[in-house]
Amino acid sequence: MSKMHVSTTINGEPMEFLCDAHDSMLDALRGPLGLTGAKEGCGTGDCGACSITVDGRLVCACLMLAVESEGKSLGTIEGMSQGGELHPLQRKFLEMAALQCGICTPGVLIAAKSLLEKNPNPTETEVRFGLAGNLCRCTGYDKIVRAVLETAAEMRGAA
């Protein structure tokens, strides 16, 4: 069977790629699109390492078919810094050492950004529930949660 042609928008840029009908969006990102920031942890939607946004909605790229991205607007970790400037979440994660091995970090950052866009002033509980779909085996989560709360406070102050 011949490959399917897909036109989509990723981090604001129009992109095209070829895929098989059964390829996941994660396969397409990490393969033909060369965007390897989204990681494959479990491949079953449990770990959140492949978190991206699709038309503003947080999803696991491993649970979406690549062909479904036709005409959609996707956001990945590669689009999080703007003009060489780290997003406040990225900066705070570095400052507060909210990562160790880094495999989960792109997914955590995308999920945290999505959370703060919906709720700029979350409680600790809301952060923990909001990030429950992102597994991290290094940090014990505490540093991640504190970095997200600190970033939220900083972003509210700047707004």
Under the rule (CB under 8 A), what is the footprint of another protein? 1, 4, 20-22, 24, 43-46, 48, 51, 54, 57-60, 62-65, 67-68, 70, 111, 114-115, 129-130, 132-134
Residue among 7 and 97 whose Cβ is closer to another protein: 7
Q: With respect to another protein, which residue has the nearer C-beta, 95 or 117?
A: 117
From the list 27, 44, 50, the residue with the least C-alpha distance to 109 is 50
Structure tokens at 75: 């956001």
Q: Measured from the CB of residue 123, what is the shortest distance to another protein in angstroms?
A: 15
- Whether 119 contacts 126, CB under 8 Å: yes
State in angstroms the smallest separation of the CB of 37 from another protein. Answer: 16
* Least distance to another protein, CB of residue 109, Å: 13
Q: Which of 16, 67, 54 is nearest to 7 (CA)?
A: 16
For 68, which DSSP code?
G
Compare residues 85 and 149 and give the one whose CB is closer to another protein. Answer: 149
Closest CA to 108 of 133, 126, 82: 133
